[in-house]
Structure 1
Amino acid sequence: MRDFFKYLFASMLGFFLSIVVIFIICFVVIAAAISSIDDDKSVAVGNNSVLFLNLDQAITERTPKRSFGNLPIIGSEESDGIGLNDVLKSIKRAKNDDNIKCIYLNVISPNAGFATMREVRNALIDFKKSHKKILAYSEVYTQGAYYLASVADKVYLNPEGALEFKGFSSQLTFFKGTLEKVGVEMQVIRVGNYKSAVEPYILDKMSDYNRKQVTAYVGGLYNTFLTDIAQTRSIQKDSLYSIADNYKIREPKDALNFKMIDGLKYKDEILEELKALSGKTKKQNISSVSINDYIKNNTSSGTGKDKVAIIYANGEITGGEGSDNQIGSERISRAIRKARLDDDIKAIVIRVNSPGGSALASDVIWREIVLTKKEKPVIASFGDVAASGGYYIGCAADSIFVQPNTITGSIGVFGLIPNFQNLMTNKLGITFDGVKTGKYADIMATNRPMTEGERFIIQNELNRIYSGFVSRVADGRKKSKAYIDSIGGGHVWIGTDAVQIGLADRIGSFNDAIAAAAKKAKLKDYKVVEYPDVIDPLKSLLEESTDKIKTYYTKQELGENYMLYQQMKKVIASSGIQMRMPFEAIIK
């Protein structure tokens, strides 16, 4: 009888939980559908409006479809963000929108790379040609925030706030000591002294080669940062360097004294100034529209039957379908092929923002670019990073556009094979045994060290892939293999240097690349279309929710150890032959 009730209650509980889960799923699906309908609605912009530019949100390549509208989801820590494509379109449209009188820029800590921020910054500079004003205000400016805000006509800081201006630093995290403690040996094979993506697992500090290129990379970013601020704030670049080097901005009044800002004001004073800029009286309320709402009025740009297609290649490169934030070779190559076979599409821009990834997947995408270039112009536009595999997929384009602070190059290959034998056997007491029909039947096994024969085979394979990589670049850039090899070896280059050495053609924006594609195709009137389609969040609702919930609880359980957990997952996922950027530096 006891067992009967136990099974009865277990069945009832299972049934009840199933009903709850089904109810939650149905509720979320319906709510998301309703939200998506609302998201598609255009937004009315009143007369004398202020465009509110909140740039603390993530700035991605394209605005994602809202997964769940404004519903809170377990594991979700931030909004979906906004696409650079929509930000640029909106600022350009606001320039000629009679209802928009000025822009209010509010930013504390932007969630974007420096090349992306430069695209936004240049769009704001272009907006000022309309003689409309930009007002920037914040209680705190990080360096990235100030980089954006410095373009404004007036830059204001809270009287008790802070402006960070101290120079750039880059810190790399090394896991060799941790791996040794847990008994994991990282077996590394690579081609190129600068191909240092493996260094965090085998060293406890940067190699001389890596230090050299990180120094050049950070220095290049900083040079662009200071140059751009000097131009818009009318302050000598050397003076800015001295201010940062000596940490002269220690309190709000210092920022004012050194002309980094135009005034110290409270929010109520800012609101009064915005009223004046937008033609409102003191007793009237400000009419404002947020950038997130304003983008809903964006329409396909251009007219006519002819089209220029943009192919977005964003994230790490992998085989399969990928996602909006991961370059799946199947999905991207299919998009390129579709654009190639469409007779109305006369030119293609491939927009690359990727640190690289799978060597095979990169080659699959490269092949489609080569085939397409034979039929219509292909222009590459590189974002924050187009390195290693990211460079590979763009090197065949007719022309390559970069920002001065784009990171690119990294022509090299590496293999990473972890050996978990010590961890499994000596730490956990797990042993392995088996049979095989050939000496190399279990090559790439992770439960034992590599043999010399295996290492020889893998090294030869990497040499072959690297030679192919160099040949692809040499053919695409019309250079000799010897020359490409001399600037390869995994070496990372900043955008300005990439142009000088021939890895890129021009310093130019995303829109410059689109214009160049149209010009090469001899188009005057054309529409811009985007591929691949943004993934419908409802299609991946269960998988996305499960991943977010799992991530949320894993973080709660592991706490500070979550970063190590992520790195171990990444090591396992990166096993095999990879084309990746040689370091992941955090610039502060």
Structure 2
Amino acid sequence: MKQFFKFVLATMLGVFLVTVVLVVISIAIIGGLINAAGNDKDVTVENNSVLRISFKNAIPERTPNNPLAGLNFLGLDGDKSIGLNDILADIKKAKTDNKIKGIFLDESYMLSGQATTEEIRNALIDFKKSGKFIIAYSEIYTQGFYYLASVADKVYLNPTGIFEFRGFSQEITFLKGTLDKLGIEAQVIKVGTYKSAVEPFVLDKMSDANREQVNSYLGSLYDHFLGGIAAQRKLNKDSLYNVANNMLVQQPEDAQKYKLIDGLKYKDEILADLKQRAGAKQGKLHSVDIEDYTRSKSGDKDDSDDDKSSSDNRIAVVYASGEINGGEGTDNSIGSERISKALRQVREDKRVKAVVFRVNSPGGSSLASDVIWREVDLTHKVKPIMISMGDYAASGGYYISCAADSIFAEPNTITGSIGIFAILPNMKKLFNDKLGVTFDGVKTGKYADLGDVSRPLSPEERAILQNQVNRGYDDFTKHVAEGRHKTQAYINSIGQGRVWTGTQALKLGLVDRLGNINDAVESAAKKAKLKDYKLVYYPEQKSFFNKVGSSLSAEMKTRAVKSELGENYRYYEQVKSMTQMIRTPQARMPFEIVIK
């Protein structure tokens, strides 16, 4: 009886504590919502203001629908993330806003891909046509941020700061040795000489074919990088190559010596300069962060601001961002069901006269990619559909793009990678030799246990899977050939899983034009013969309440793992990615491209 009462008291205490925790969470959420509601009010921009732009987080395609932005509690992401859509719109708005005198590019990390940086950079170049100033400052210039900052009228570095300018490198992590130690064999079935997504699991270094393609696309990216800096800084591209190749910038003074920056200054000196340039009265500098400027109504309405048009004609912008899989997906992952539904909606809506399909994806499930391709192809048959490629539109990302009327890519978009593969682990040695676990059973057919990871594939089973992958590759190349009006033999010759940049893809006929999402919208309007139209966006972003529970637990888990692993988190991500590749044929990029 004594133990019984202990148990009852412990249970009551547990219930009480859980209740308290839930109340605290509820209060925090309600408080956050109240605070967010207050923050949703229009921001007032003072006269003679400077628009401050600083990127410390990865830049999503669209600004997240998060009313608790700014609130850090129990693992919730409190950062005020801003999407590329609002960044471009804000820079465009600031160009004609009489209250904005210039832009201050404050130190940033530029964690997003190069094509995203390219779109922002081009928007800043257009902003300069207004005659307003752009000033850049940082204590540490990464190569990504410097590429963005090089458009500024003046680029300043902290006198004891760091300036990185040494060229691009690409590193791949190989896990074969780890798998060998664990007694796991990665059984690979693939089509494509250059389809190197499987290499980290079966090799301990790059294959000759993979080294060839990495040298090719990395050289293309680097050439564009140097060319962009040379044009804005009025420097010789070959001279820039020499500076980087010999690492002539080792001290802050070296960056000024080779005219990569305009001076060495501390932050207080920069602020004083901004006050003078903005014509600040009484020495007070008015500035507005770009995250807040999004909510301001300052600035003149641009006649080309078509999403505010009263016209009943519409151009739909459909966003597809992240890895491709079946199911619903999220705002940051492509679910074939959700994206297919969005494409059907815009296809069947008589008010929508044209579609821009924004793709930013390294690929994923070949089956899910084919499901989405079908909806793009059906849409193409009844109304114009243009593709706007982001940082990636490769493998499955290219698959879902190839049926459109026209494809736009940035010069440094990563695309192509036309190939299919599958991985099935053989864990026999792990189970038998390492763990002492054995299996036995019965089956009613020869292939009833096909895909069992406790044993290796038989030659007949491997042949079956190879035929499935071959079929997937044949379908892929056939769809691309039809969409691009090429022969299947030609697509096969430039396919084979090979990765290309946007510049290279243009020459090969895989894309039609180099340009951004606004260029794609203008092209869609021209194709549909529209002069007045309204922009509408799909799929509808999920509400905060629809995703708070799952995102809370996922965010807490991710933060815990990141905290524990630190810089090694990317290796964890690679292993996790491998588990997602198992069994299902994949049309996926070989690896994440991280420029160092």
* TM superposition score normalised by structure 1: 0.97
1:584: which partner in 2? 592
- Are 1:87 and 2:95 matched, yes or no? no
Say whether the 8 Å CA contact 1:159–1:264 is kept in structure 2: yes
2-side partners of 1:198 and 1:540: how far apart? 33
Say whether the 8 Å CA contact 2:76–2:552 is kept in structure 1: no
Aligned residue type for 1:242: N
Residues 387, 424 of structure 1: alpha-carbon distance in 2 compared, 3 angstrom cutoff: same
Query: CA-to-partner distance for each residue in 1:398-428, whole Å, 9 max, x for gaps?
Result: 0000111111011100001112222223222
1:14: which partner in 2? 14
Q: Which moved more, 1:38-47 or 1:150-159?
A: 38-47
1-side partners of 2:269 and 2:565: how far apart? 45
2-side partners of 1:71 and 1:263: how far apart? 37
Q: How many residues align?
A: 587
2:301: which partner in 1? none
Q: What's the secondary structure of 1:587's corresponding residue?
A: coil
2-side partners of 1:97 and 1:140: how far apart? 30
The within-5 A match list for 1:545-564 is 545-555=552-562, 563-564=570-571
2:387: which partner in 1? 380
Residues 543, 17 of structure 1: alpha-carbon distance in 2 compared, 3 angstrom cutoff: farther
Residues 247, 426 of structure 1: alpha-carbon distance in 2 compared, 3 angstrom cutoff: same
- Structure 2 unpaired stretches of 5+: 298-304
Say whether the 8 Å CA contact 2:80–2:291 is kept in structure 1: no
2-side partners of 1:468 and 1:432: how far apart? 38
1-side partners of 2:523 and 2:369: how far apart? 25
- Are 1:434 and 2:433 matched, yes or no? no
The within-5 A match list for 1:181-580 is 181-281=181-281, 283-297=282-296, 301-303=307-309, 304-555=311-562, 563-575=570-582, 576-580=584-588
Residues 286, 562 of structure 1: alpha-carbon distance in 2 compared, 3 angstrom cutoff: closer
Say whether the 8 Å CA contact 1:103–1:134 is kept in structure 2: yes
2-side partners of 1:434 and 1:241: how far apart? 64
1-side partners of 2:564 and 2:244: how far apart? 40
1-side partners of 2:360 and 2:156: how far apart? 33
Q: What's the secondary structure of 2:462's corresponding residue?
A: helix
1-side partners of 2:367 and 2:293: how far apart? 41
Q: What's the secondary structure of 1:268's corresponding residue?
A: helix
Say whether the 8 Å CA contact 1:74–1:548 is kept in structure 2: no
1:60: which partner in 2? 60
Aligned residue type for 2:337: E
1-side partners of 2:434 and 2:567: how far apart? 22
Say whether the 8 Å CA contact 2:70–2:80 is kept in structure 1: no
Aligned residue type for 1:284: G
Residues 552, 116 of structure 1: alpha-carbon distance in 2 compared, 3 angstrom cutoff: closer
Q: What's the secondary structure of 1:188's corresponding residue?
A: strand
2-side partners of 1:504 and 1:568: how far apart? 32
Aligned residue type for 1:240: L
Q: What's the secondary structure of 1:63's corresponding residue?
A: coil
Q: Which moved more, 1:55-64 or 1:70-79?
A: 70-79
Say whether the 8 Å CA contact 1:305–1:527 is kept in structure 2: yes
2-side partners of 1:209 and 1:333: how far apart? 35
Query: CA-to-partner distance for each residue in 1:451-506, whole Å, 9 max, x for gaps?
Result: 11110000001111110001100110011111111111101111111011110000
- Structure 1 unpaired stretches of 5+: none
Aligned residue type for 2:333: Q
2-side partners of 1:50 and 1:565: how far apart? 41
2-side partners of 1:153 and 1:552: how far apart? 39
* TM superposition score normalised by structure 2: 0.95
Q: Which moved more, 1:423-432 or 1:50-59?
A: 423-432
By how many angstroms is 1:112 displaced?
Answer: 1.2
1-side partners of 2:219 and 2:333: how far apart? 29
Aligned residue type for 2:352: I
1-side partners of 2:572 and 2:100: how far apart? 48
Say whether the 8 Å CA contact 1:31–1:68 is kept in structure 2: no
Q: What's the secondary structure of 1:136's corresponding residue?
A: strand
2-side partners of 1:175 and 1:67: how far apart? 41
Q: What's the secondary structure of 1:382's corresponding residue?
A: strand
By how many angstroms is 1:42 displaced?
Answer: 1.8
2:300: which partner in 1? none
Residues 448, 148 of structure 1: alpha-carbon distance in 2 compared, 3 angstrom cutoff: same
2-side partners of 1:254 and 1:565: how far apart? 38
Residues 564, 149 of structure 1: alpha-carbon distance in 2 compared, 3 angstrom cutoff: closer
Residues 155, 557 of structure 1: alpha-carbon distance in 2 compared, 3 angstrom cutoff: closer
Aligned residue type for 1:297: S
Q: Percent identity?
A: 55
Say whether the 8 Å CA contact 1:75–1:551 is kept in structure 2: no
By how many angstroms is 1:584 displaced?
Answer: 2.2
By how many angstroms is 1:194 displaced?
Answer: 0.4
2-side partners of 1:556 and 1:125: how far apart? 38
Residues 284, 18 of structure 1: alpha-carbon distance in 2 compared, 3 angstrom cutoff: same
Q: Which moved more, 1:126-135 or 1:335-344?
A: 335-344
